[in-house]
């Protein structure tokens, strides 16, 4: 908690778009970043202890969202 974090993320090659979304502004983590095959660095500083979800919010027409297909995870912030 209160330690800067750098998260390095990328997507696998292919035409399907992906992103990473975290909506926990109360904990200092609020971002939505489009992903590419080149790594991107996301910087944030967690301000609250807890378990916070992140996910891909992309959805192709008439299909389940990527999050519904399991493209989600958590960041656990500890003291």
For 20-37, the pLDDT digits (tens) are 999 999 999 999 999 999
Q: How far apart are CA 64 and CA 70, in angstroms?
A: 10
Q: Which residues pair with 30 in a beta bridge?
A: 23
Q: Give the pairing type, strands 72-77 and 50-55.
A: antiparallel
Question: Of 16, 10, 7, which is closest to residue 39 (Cα–Cα)?
Answer: 10
The total of other beta-carbon atoms located within 10 Å of residue 55's CB is: 19
Fold for the domain defined by 5-77: Immunoglobulin-like (2.60.40)
pTM of the model: 0.91
Predicted confidence (pLDDT) per residue in 64-76, tens digit: 999 999 999 999 9
């Amino acid at each position: 908690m209160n330690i800067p974090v750098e998260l390095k993320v990328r997507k696998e090659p292919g035409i399907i778009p992906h992103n990473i979304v975290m909506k926990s502004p109360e904990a200092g983590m609020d971002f939505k970043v489009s992903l590419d095959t080149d790594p991107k660095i996301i910087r944030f500083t967690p301000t609250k202890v807890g378990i916070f979800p992140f996910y891909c919010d992309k959805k192709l027409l008439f299909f389940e969202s990527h999050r519904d297909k399991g493209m989600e995870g958590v960041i656990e912030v500890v003291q």
